[in-house]
Chains A and B, each alone.
Chain A
Amino acid sequence: MSAESNKLLIDIGSTYFKVSTSNSIEQHFRDFNRTILDDLTQKCGDTVQRYDQSDVHICSSANGGLSTLIIGLTQSYSLKYATNIAYNSGINIIDSIVFQDIETYSVPSDLIDVVIVVGGIDSNSGLFDERLDNYLAKLNYSNFVFVGNEPDAQAIKSRIDNVTLLPNIIDNRLHIVETHLKDYLTNLYQQDIEGKEDIKHLYKITSNQIYSTPYVVNKSLPLINASFSVTDPFILLDIGGATTDVHYSKDLLTDNIVTEQGHDRIVFKKLGVYKSRQSLIFTAENNEFSYELLMHLKVTENIYNENSEKATKILMQLAIFLVLCKMSHYRPAYVTLKLLAMNSIVFTGGITKVLTTEDIEDVVAFFYRKILNSEHKPATVLDNNYDIWTLGAKEHAACQ
């Protein structure tokens, strides 16, 4: 037996946690009245006990990730590049501000985990005046990183305390430079996970570092064909309790950006079927096709008020439809994907335990017919054994 088969892999989500050994995988609803460790010990204590601390690998998306505010000079360069890097670093919550209009934005009252300021190539300077200082003075934040032009970095360091300076993410050809900011955010995210009370306890059962789930999933994408028949270009949807994660092949997007990896990630932060249930329903009520979709699924809007298995199922189908809408020209968000070119659509996470392939294909076909007027039918793949997560976790464990 290879070394990896002796490992125990645990993923903590906002709604479920799952535990995978070489020959079994179990999934449990979380009991929010207990700490994660207690809950885990209660439900799978026997399994956990069989493993040595060094063979237990844990990842988590339970804390929702870091909240991020990006202040950038322009939409097409600084904000686009920083947002791309932040999503690919596993960050979920991103708000952005165009610097010239900074005074018109309200100051969020919640604590921001990290503020990213970016803009200008290195031969430009003097771009961030005291309006930045004034805004930051009112803002409640934990970390501040500057990834803009070099001359301004020095000026800002002298004016604002506790700033982290990293190399410019925009080079002199106006291309993106990913590494430094990506490493910084990934590390910050790790520290954040480790710092959470709930997660800290988990170090009693593992001697390995606890990683963020998006980071682990990202690791597995280049290896995805080892477990599934997935054909590029594809998207991978993880519709969770609080957020929906999407990883997509770069060629689904026509964009003037040369990045390192074959897939990019985006998150719809208020699209989920448990914690974000209300905002999901709100989004559905504002989509003119939802009503038709409900009719097609043979239910009425009353389903929104029900708390049944059936209601969960319908909400998940709605979520699939709404996410596809958000990525199409119909409801353009951060990206508009060429969904007619998509060959495969992969689903992972809790949804695969609730919906069948037929349920999913039905709503995907509805989307293509109604929104894109097409009979296009991407191959549907259900990762109902959490292989994608296991692949990434194994890959990571093997490297350690």
Chain B
Amino acid sequence: MKIVTGVIGNDIHVVANRLMDLSLNARGYEVFNLGVNTYLEEFFDASVETGADVLLISSLNGEAEGWARDVKPLMSRYNSLDNLVMMIGGNLTVGSGSATDIIPRYQKYGFDLVCHQVDLNTGLDMLEDYLKEHKTS
């Protein structure tokens, strides 16, 4: 299973990014880590070049709202990303906000899996469950 990951935008949380990389490797994924400060277009392009199954974007500094609206329009320009599982994790809003508001909002932006302030392993368990579920269906 190939997975492209990285931290989006003007965000320098390298420790979280490296831990994500190690965790995904430990769980047996083939990981393509684009690192910190990555642009949305680079994520999609890397997914195409690698033939990724999953795109996991981290956003830790609360700026996600700023670019998340661009996900759908940008993604619609690609012909080969229809089966890409889209996941986002981190701090998805500035200040407080409840998961019940945030999750549907990000789903509307085009994400299949939304993890707001969820710890790393729980998030990756969710991904595994999701992949299992969608494989059998």
Knowing A100-B79, A100-B80, A174-B34 are in contact, say whether A120-B42 is a contact too (CB < 8 A).
no
Please determine whether B49 and A119 come into contact, CB atoms closer than 8 angstroms.
yes
Give the number of chain B interface residues (Cβ < 8 Å). 17
- A103 CB → nearest B CB, Å: 11
Besides A74-B45, A119-B49, A123-B51, 17 other A-B contacts (C-beta < 8 A): A74-B44, A74-B46, A74-B48, A74-B49, A76-B41, A77-B45, A77-B49, A78-B49, A100-B78, A121-B49, A121-B51, A124-B49, A124-B50, A174-B32, A174-B46, A174-B49, A256-B42
Contact string against A for B residues 20-45, beta-carbon threshold 8 Å, 1 for contact and 0 otherwise: 00000000001010100001011011
Q: Which residues of A contact B78 (CB under 8 A)?
A: 100
CA distance A125 to B80 in the complex (A): 13
B48 touches A73 (CB 8 A): yes
Q: Are B46 and A123 in contact (CB under 8 A)?
A: no
Residues of B within 8 A of A256 (CB): 42
Q: Does A280 touch B at the CB level, under 8 Å?
A: no
Q: Number of contacts between A and B (CB, 8 Å)?
A: 47
CA distance A73 to B80 in the complex (A): 11
Alpha-carbon gap, A256 to B48, bound state (A): 17
A315 to chain B, nearest CB (A): 37
23 pairs, CB–CB < 8 Å, chain A vs chain B:
A73-B45, A74-B44, A74-B46, A74-B49, A75-B41, A75-B45, A76-B39, A76-B46, A77-B45, A77-B46, A77-B49, A100-B78, A100-B79, A120-B50, A120-B51, A121-B49, A121-B51, A123-B2, A124-B51, A125-B51, A174-B34, A174-B49, A256-B42
Bound CA span A174–B43, Å? 12
What's the Cα separation between A76 and B43 when bound, in Å?
9
Distance in angstroms between the alpha carbons of A121 and B80 in the assembled complex: 15
Kindly provide the distance from the CB of B24 to the nearest chain A CB, expressed in whole angstroms: 15
- Give the Cβ gap from A27 to chain B, nearest Cβ, in Å: 46
**CB of A170 within 8 Å of the partner chain:** yes
Check A76 against B42 for contact (C-beta < 8 Å): yes
Give, as a whole number of angstroms, the nearest-CB distance from A162 to chain B. Answer: 26
**A binding-site residues for B, Cβ under 8 Å:** 73-78, 100, 119-121, 123-125, 127, 170, 173-174, 256
Complex CA–CA separation, A75 to B32 (angstroms) = 18
Cross-interface CB contact of B50 among A75, A76, A100, A123, cutoff 8 Å: A123
Min CB gap A4→B, angstroms: 46
B41 contacts across to A, CB distance below 8 A: 75-76
A174 surroundings in chain B (CB, below 8 A): 32, 34, 46, 49-50
Name the B residues within 8 Å of A119 (CB-CB).
Answer: 48-49
The residue on A at minimum CB distance from B78 is A100
A191: min CB distance to chain B, Å: 31
A124 to B39, CA, bound (A): 22
Q: With the chains together, A124 CA to B30 CA distance in Å?
A: 12
Which of B39, B44, B49 has its CB near the most chain A CB atoms (within 10 A)? B49
B contact residues around A121 at 8 Å (CB): 49-51
Contact of A123 among B30, B79, B80 (CB under 8 A): B30
Residues of B within 8 A of A173 (CB): 32
Give A174 to B30 CA distance when docked, in angstroms: 13
A residues near B80, Cβ cutoff 8 Å:
100
Cα–Cα, bound, A76→B39 (Å): 10
Tell me how far the C-beta of B56 lies from the nearest C-beta in chain A, rounded to whole angstroms.
16
